[in-house]
Amino acid sequence: MGKNTVSDRPSVGVHVVTGATAGLGLETAAGLAEQGLHVVIAGRGSERLAAARASILKRCPGASLDVIAVDLASLDSVRAAAAQLRERYTSIEVLVNNAGVMYTPFERTAEGFELQFGVNCLGHFEWTKLLMPLLLADDGARVVNVASHAHRANGIDLADPNWERRPYDKFVAYAAAKTANILFTVGLEQRFAGCGLHAFAVHPGTVNTSLGRYMSRDDMRHLKSLVAASAGLESGAAPPPIVYASVRDGARTSVWAATTADLVDRGGLYLADCAVVQAAAHATDPIAADELWAMSEQLCGPWGAQRSGDA
């Protein structure tokens, strides 16, 4: 679990998964390890990381694993963890930006960003920026951003992403963050496809994980009404039932996006059920993607030469 030396660096591509200590992230990391790939388990807490590593090794004896502590709610933590990975590795083949929070009460990150926007979007923006030199060092690297069909409910208010001018709505905030994940994917593809790097956004399905711990029964009723509205049902009409996928099924599309030959030389795509699907128009608008990118740079810092793929 320590720093890799020149002699013990993995001979297969490095696959980094955030939020990999539980739920979808852990299952994604395990699924990649089962394919014989070197996996870096990124997440919070040394005990959680050790437990995740032990869990994968029990399932995949001899798996090639590393761990890195990172808290996406702190840009200082993101920067420190990225610096450690740049010391350990010379390239990254796949970066799976899986970590996230969902439907949280109003809270701010260490830098003062609204929590869902800060963790799901800005944390991964900075993480990807700092690891881009390693991604560009790999021929055909991929970035996989875990999004959600929840993005269909609404876009992101770029004039007030941190909820400083509006009453906070955790459902709207989550949908906005998931929209931002897809717009970030579009922005990455626009900037780096010419360098051989491709980006994908993934809908894992509705998976019953610990992310739903902030949901009350009233919240579930409200969520069903949002599902009905996004499905175009008339007011009062019964919404479609929420069908939960297993964690293993939920991780399948992330693993597929990271490894399938079907996506070679393709990118900027939204994926679900191991297939390309259409995202909402507001989440794929290239102008909105540029506006989100510019705002994220203002909040986190510029990408410099890498922004144009010149690094």
Answer whether 56's CB lies under 8 Å from 30's CB: yes
pLDDT tens-digit series, residues 153-173: 999 999 999 999 999 999 999
pLDDT tens-digit series, residues 82-140: 999 999 999 999 999 999 999 999 999 999 999 999 999 999 999 999 999 999 999 99
pTM score of the predicted model:
0.87
What does the block give as tokens for 39?
A: 């996996």
Contacts of 112 (CB under 8 A, 6+ apart): 162
pLDDT tens-digit series, residues 207-258: 565 444 545 556 555 555 555 555 554 555 555 555 666 889 889 999 999 9
- Report the interhelical angle of 124-136 vs 286-300 (nearest 10°): 100
Residue for token pair 């994980």 = 209
Contacts of 1 (CB under 8 A, 6+ apart): 53, 65, 66, 67
DSSP single-letter state for residue 62: T
Strands 94-97 and 142-146: parallel
Query: What local confidence, expressed as pLDDT, does residue 62 receive?
Result: 96
Name the residues annotated as catalytic. 174
Q: List the end-to-end C-alpha distance of the chain, in Å, as a whole number.
A: 29
What residue spans define the domains of the chain?
A: 14-214+245-302
Q: Which CATH architecture has domain 14-214+245-302?
A: 3-Layer(aba) Sandwich (3.40)
Residue for token pair 């175009």 = 232
Least confident piece of the model among 43-52, 231-240, 263-272, 277-286: 231-240
Least confident piece of the model among 62-71, 96-105, 141-150, 212-221: 212-221
DSSP assignment of 16-32 equals EEETTTSHHHHHHHHHH
Query: What local confidence, expressed as pLDDT, does residue 229 receive?
Result: 57
